[in-house]
Structure 1
Amino acid sequence: MSSMARRAGLAFTAAALALAGAVYGVTSASADVTAQLTAPQLVADMGAGWNLGNQLEASNNGIPSETAWGNPVVTQALINRVKASGFKTIRIPISYLGNIGSGPNYTINSAWLNRIQEVVDYAYGQGLYVVINMHGDGYKSVTGSWLICDASDQTTVKAKYQKVWQQVAARFASYNEHLIFESMNEEFDGQYGNPTQPCYSNINAYNQTFVDTVRRTGGTNASRWLLVPGWNTNIDYTVGNYGFTLPTDQYRSSSIPSTEQRLMISVHYYDPWDFTGQEDGTITQWGPNATNPAKTSTWGQADYLDGQLKKMHDTFVARGYPVFVGEYGAIDKTAADPANNRYRADYARTLVAAAKKYGAATAYWDNGYNGAYGFGLFNRGSATVTQQGIIDAIISAVGGSSPSTPPTSPSTSPSSSPSATPPTSSPAGACRVTSAVSAWNTGLTNSITLTNTGATTVNGWTLTFTLAPGQTITAGWSATYAPASGNVTATNAGYNGTLAPGASTTIGYQATHTGNAAAPTGFRLNGASCN
């Protein structure tokens, strides 16, 4: 999203941020597991996503500063709250700008790179998917921007771009596939309209440089999923005959089956803008539940939205390339129409449901601002929920569940916390488990879907099962797992502990094996056998 639109209602601060803990001790990341998730598995596992917008891409006079656009310093408590609300993916937009040194090395300021890693670890340490990108460096409206596709000296632009991504990729080379890199954000010539050449050719070249550079740094980077956008992350200019070309992926790991991809396509969706982003009180309703035609846009309704995502499916998903709608949302216009939040929720629900239908993951744009024309879902200072209705709409559309009343004291522990509610016994035969194992060499990934087939709600659960001999869990998500081998107990996270009759939740883990990659056996929910 454009820098001005993202700042809705946020005032610039005069002073740049003095980073807390400028000399940050780098934490050890999870071992390289190189899980071989297929495209459908990845999209399903990413679940609902959320943007930490207007923070690490914020800047003041060309220097990135996470408080420059009015937000407080990012905390672990905030990320815990986002996870507890049901989100499984966090996109972290990042600017580098004046924190890049001079050529030919273009060294990134170490304090800034350390802070980036620290914020990534807030989410990565919780088992969430994390998307990081190069966000503000390509906006002509931002002081210090340089990734400009129609700049005269493209040799320098491309050399700088390559060096920056090389450093970022090297820093995170040991992180597992829960970290996804996105090459750039909303890159175009700044003029809205049909794409121009050779500007689009340069964007394609940036994407190719990004893929080649990341792959060559090795580690998990040789196989992790990489996101690439087309012109301004616009759907029509990406699927249409306007010049977008997919990068080749010649340096990827040989462990990736030749029939599978490791590239995703990044797009954004804010149609119709008069409802989602135009800062007035004119268009405040959207969708089939709208009651006032004068307050409803004449275009961009649910059928149009569905058609746009279908284009992405037919062009990319059908060929094995998953799609990531990395930004969407609608600003708060309740000052003009008290019912506006209902339509904002309808919009989010419809977008996420259509994306799920067409093989795409999503991330809601949150700029941290609550109030007139803000996108905020959370109060970042207090780490509390401000728009539970919109969150519920998102989580329900992706097939999950979120607590109707958020917890009041978010934990700052980096591990998932079991539900505080004592488990409710479930009668035998009242649960169903499906297990999808994807194995390679000495590693595997298993995605487990647990369904409550009983007539009563389960409030808090443990799922026990037995791993095949020689298997050891190395990382898990959406539950805590102990011990790592043999007879394992998975305990619900805070956000998925309640399973109404017929409801499901998906958890998973990575494991090593010594030749036996069989699925686990003997599933029991709260002591009762599952089908």
Structure 2
Amino acid sequence: MTKRLGLAAAALLSLLVSMLIVPAPAHAAVGLRVSGTKILEANGNAFVMRGVSHAHTWYTSQTSSFANIKALRANTVRVVLSGGRWTPNNATDVANVVSLCRQNRLICVLENHDTTGYGEQSGAYTLDQAVDYWSSVRSALTGTEDFIIVNIGNEPYGNNNVSAWTAATSNAITRMRSLGFQHMLMVDAPNWGQDWQFTMRDNAKTVAAADTQKNTVFSIHMYGVFDTAAEITAYLDAFQTAGLPLVIGEFGFNHSDGDPDEDTIMAQAVSRGIGYIGWSWSGNGGGVEYLDMVTNFNPAALTSWGQRIFNGANGIAATSREATYFSGGSTDTTAPTTPGTPAASGITSTGATLTWTASTDSGGSGLAGYDVYREQGTTDPLLGSATTNSVTLTGLTPSTQYQVYVRARDGAGNQSTASALATFTTSGGGTGGGCTAAGTVQSQWNGGYVVQPVTVTNTGTTGITGWTVTFTLPAGHTLAGSWNASVSVNGQTVTARNAGYNGTVGAGASTSFGFQVTRPGGNTATVSSYTCATS
């Protein structure tokens, strides 16, 4: 009996010792991390990239782009860097980029562009050289794992010797970890990022296994190869079936190698909960200038591609959610209050200044800014964004009526309900058909007044065939009638258009209309200014 107890005790002791010496997982990911097919923040919240690329290495002075991209509601920016193929971005510059990412509450994917088209394009760097670059700037990245992702090398192989991609990528990941990088790593496909030979797709598990932290995400670039819905869904299906994380690291609405199906790309990304990053903010050249989302880095000058990716169906504005890391892990779902109706001033042929009563936010994330949209419908274009309750719009069309509204947004990405519509009309462009309008108060009494005439003068050098006059009624005033014009009212904004018989006005000539207004007793205000546009 005693012997048996001794053996049992010895066995128990042996078990306890073996349990104590079994090492705990030594390579658990910190910060942003992979979980199956998903990306999680350090606090466990899911994060889905909605962003754009910014060509920082060629436009290092355009640091305002980070704030401007954020203002259009992106939660991610992919930043182009170089270690020597172009002017190098040293550790000091990278540290500044990191600061801009943090300051503007953006998850940043930092990518080394030197590797683009290796094996096919002269001057391209190897992935091993890319790792050398990351080693040289590591000091700028220490402790940034919560909001920085390292994209080891952009499109690291062209269409030559593509089979070498698997070993080269695995080795690059191994070296990054041996250097002490704990960041989430991103690896691009070969075939100029489009993987049309399926090298990345078929070898992704091998590459994933090379990461001791199990924290590598794969990036596919979707251009002309992905011009049908079937090709897009089949590729995404393959990674989903394999249980591996994938993001659409670049895509466009058009390309020299074909016409990508951007509608399916964006819709599938949203329905599957995977990230997408469009190419690119501004500064494209070499025949792909059409891929600029804004003109000359001006956030108020969205191109058609910019309108599509930011404000279209399944676009960034509708589907982006800020990383909760920037709000202390909170899950704010409270929308800001509705902003006031915008008022237009300083109207020209191509611009106007709008102001409105500010919103408030009680959700804890704070007001991040406002977006100004044209009209109300399912695909309203974004005209501009602001961090205060005022914005100056540019690039408008002369002699055009605009109906606009404002939405507030907070730091967590919540949007307010839309403000009431405001209406204004830009003035005529050039000298061929401008106009002015001036009104005379003909008579007034305690409860109202008559403005007659409102004189419309053609200030151009040629005749016009139509005109529109807009004006704002003071608070509490109501339009009671009008004559010699077709009039509509939206809130306190009145739009008067020529009748069928007085739209044609010769150069330097005039015509007129009139209206009557009721007002509260004792109120002596009258309409004081008018805006005229030709048509």
Higher relative contact order (CA 8 A, sep 6+): 1
Larger strand fraction of residues:
2
Query: What TM-score does the superposition give when structure 2 sets the normalisation length?
Result: 0.50
Larger radius of gyration: 2
Query: What TM-score does the superposition give when structure 1 sets the normalisation length?
Result: 0.50
